[in-house]
């Protein structure tokens, strides 16, 4: 896939996390009127999580299109294993970013229902990653993915568990 097609496909796929991490929690939170308090400390933390999550998601999407030459959509996967940017620290920064946005909204809405949705989302994503994504990546990228998975944590960054920076400036040294 060329870079332009990857960028267009990745941009189109953005509707999925926007719905799962934005629209659904917003609708659940909005269903409980009067829960929004602009001056609460939870609001500040909520907006911070939403901002960090949206920023992280955008960065991860750019990496998929630019460095992987593909999309997050399973039907149009990357040609290259993406191990740059936030992928150096966690294997699933898109999901981590969406969870940050959802938890941020739970704080904004002061909503246990949105927090319960976050738990449900994490459970579903964990199953999807373990049962589909990781086996597919192992099959597609072989030893490179095995080394990556052995080095980089699935969800939360840990000191000393970082993928090394590329030694070349070319995004795809194998080409």
Q: Over range 98-107, report the average pLDDT.
A: 94
Taking the C-alpha atoms of residue 42 and residue 105, their distance in angstroms, rounded to an integer, is 10
pLDDT category of residue 155 using cuts at 50, 70 and 90: very high
Length of the chain equals: 175
Q: Render pLDDT for 23-63 as a digit per residue (tens, 0 to 9).
A: 899 888 888 765 656 667 888 899 999 999 999 999 998 88
Which pLDDT tens digit goes with each residue over 127-140?
A: 999 999 999 999 99
pTM: 0.84
CA gyration radius for the chain? Answer: 17
Per-domain boundaries in the chain: 3-151
pLDDT bracket for residue 169 (50, 70, 90) = low
Higher pLDDT among residues 133 and 175, named by residue: 133
The pLDDT tens digits for 1-20 are: 776 776 777 677 777 888 88
């Amino acid at each position: 896939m060329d870079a332009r097609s990857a960028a267009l496909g990745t941009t189109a796929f953005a509707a999925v996390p926007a719905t799962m991490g934005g629209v659904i929690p917003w609708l659940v939170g909005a269903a409980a009127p009067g829960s929004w308090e602009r001056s609460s400390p939870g609001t500040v933390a909520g907006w911070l999580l939403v901002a960090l999550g949206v920023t992280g998601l955008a960065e991860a999407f750019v990496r998929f299109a630019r460095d992987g030459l593909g999309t997050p959509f399973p039907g149009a996967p990357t040609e290259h294993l993406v191990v740059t940017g936030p992928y150096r620290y966690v294997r699933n920064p898109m999901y981590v970013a969406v969870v940050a946005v959802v938890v941020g909204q739970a704080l904004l809405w002061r909503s246990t229902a949105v927090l319960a949705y976050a738990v449900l989302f994490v459970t579903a994503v964990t199953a999807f990653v373990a049962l589909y994504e990781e086996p597919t990546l192992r099959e597609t990228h072989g030893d490179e993915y095995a080394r990556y998975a052995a080095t980089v944590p699935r969800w939360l960054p840990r000191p000393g568990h970082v993928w090394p920076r590329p030694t070349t400036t070319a995004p795809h040294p194998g080409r």
